[in-house]
Amino acid sequence: MLRPFAPPRAYLFIRGPASTAPAMAVSDYEALAKNVVRRSLHIQPKENVIVECWNHGLDAAKEIVYQLRAVGARPMLLLEDEETHWRSVEDLPPTKLGQVSASEWAALAKADAYVFFPGPADIARYRKNMEKSQAATSYNSDWYRRAERAGLRGARVLLGYVSRERARSYGFEFDAWRDMILRASSVDFNAIARKGKKLAALLSKDAEVEVSAPNGTRFVCELKGRAAQSDDGIVDAQDVKDGEFMTNVPPGYVIVCPGETSAEGIVRFDRPVPYLGLQVTDVAFQFKDGKATWSAGTNEESIRSQYDRATGAKDRLGWLQIGLNPAASYGFLQDDLVAGAIEIGIGDNSEYGGKNHSNFGFQGRLSNATVRVGKKVVVNKGRLAA
């Protein structure tokens, strides 16, 4: 699925601050860090917390460590060095990549919570070294199994995707992107949770969904009573019990898997689709008799080559998602979090409780859609309904 990936591991364990990255004032990260520690994960005194980051996320990670200590927790900071990582990926054979030490597995088993700043910073270099970069993350499914077994509460801090290298690759203005993520990470997660719970309840019923937009989008599908999931930035006991122990900061969205063969119509997405440092433009899905075809403009070949090689239910409706964050804004990787944003995906949806199994997933986003669920309008011209 074309979603954010987890980083490789080859950690340097550090206890003291040491950063060669351009420093921001620590106070710039204080609201984010307090939200993660106190609201997202509800960290308690004497809890053991792993904080993981790359070089470009170290200053924010240090503020997390401080806030953990401020509430009486016991943090451990793990650093992945960017250049050592790339030297390993580019020079070593795949059999020597993706290895996790017994000491790290032991730390994970004893941890109560985990805060993760993703990487690497250089997404174009990842794309250039795709096969070996994937070998370096081959531990990923095992990590999640062990984390769930340990009852971990985790937060993936999306500030980790904000780097100068990625900004150059995508054509984003770095400072504007960083500032948006900080704002969206510092909002009231409880308000997002309330909205998400209400919307998830509606999307969990049997109902027809209609999505329309001024650009010619006319799309319908059927909800089948499957439970919708809400990412609200908060991990509580029920989330851990349900296996939903990782949240994103900033949050939030509600996602549901409609009937995979129920879709009809056309969706013309008005936001470019970011993919490994590229922007795929003018993406459109057309559904007929429950099957999807798709087209795109710039950089279509980067997706088409994957699609042609893919197997399974790659041409079926996968999911419908609605953004919830009032402080997120369009123009960056996180367009899907903007309150009122609509994302529609095709391909594998097994992660969200759907029936599609494929090694392909692809999605697009709408910023000015109107969405009706049954008789109720939940998004009106790109804005969440009250």
pTM of the model: 0.89
Res 150: pLDDT: 94
- The whole-number pLDDT of residue 19 equals 43
Q: Which CATH superfamily is domain 12-186 in?
A: Thermophilic metalloprotease (M29) (3.40.1830.10)
Each residue's pLDDT tens digit, 43-59? 999 999 999 999 999 99
pLDDT at 27: 65
* Statement: residue 8 has pLDDT above 80: no
End-to-end CA, the chain: 32
Question: What are the tens digits of pLDDT across the range 277-320?
Answer: 999 999 999 999 989 999 999 999 999 999 999 999 999 999 99
Which SS3 state, helix, strand or coil, does residue 134 take? Answer: helix
Tell whether the model's pLDDT for residue 17 goes beyond 60.
no
Residues 170-194 pLDDT 10s: 999 999 999 999 999 999 999 999 9
Q: What's the pLDDT at 226? A: 95
Please, are residues 287 and 264 in contact by the beta-carbon 8 Å criterion?
Answer: yes
CA angle 331/336/342 to nearest 5° reads 115
Average pLDDT on 100-113 reads 96
What is residue 188's predicted lDDT score, i.e. its pLDDT?
92
Decide if pLDDT at 199 tops 70.
yes
pLDDT (0 to 100) of residue 15: 36
* DSSP code per residue over 140-189: HHHHHHHHHHTT-EEEEEGGGG--HHHHHHHT--HHHHHHHHHHHHSS-H
pLDDT of 12 over the 80 cut? no
Q: According to CATH, where is 3.40.1830.10 located in the chain?
A: 12-186
Which residue carries 């549901």 as its tokens?
Answer: 256
How many residues does the structure list for the chain?
A: 386
* Band of pLDDT at residue 7, cut at 50, 70 and 90: very low
| Burial environment of residue 340 by CB neighbours within 10 A (0 to 12, 13 to 18, 19 or more) | buried
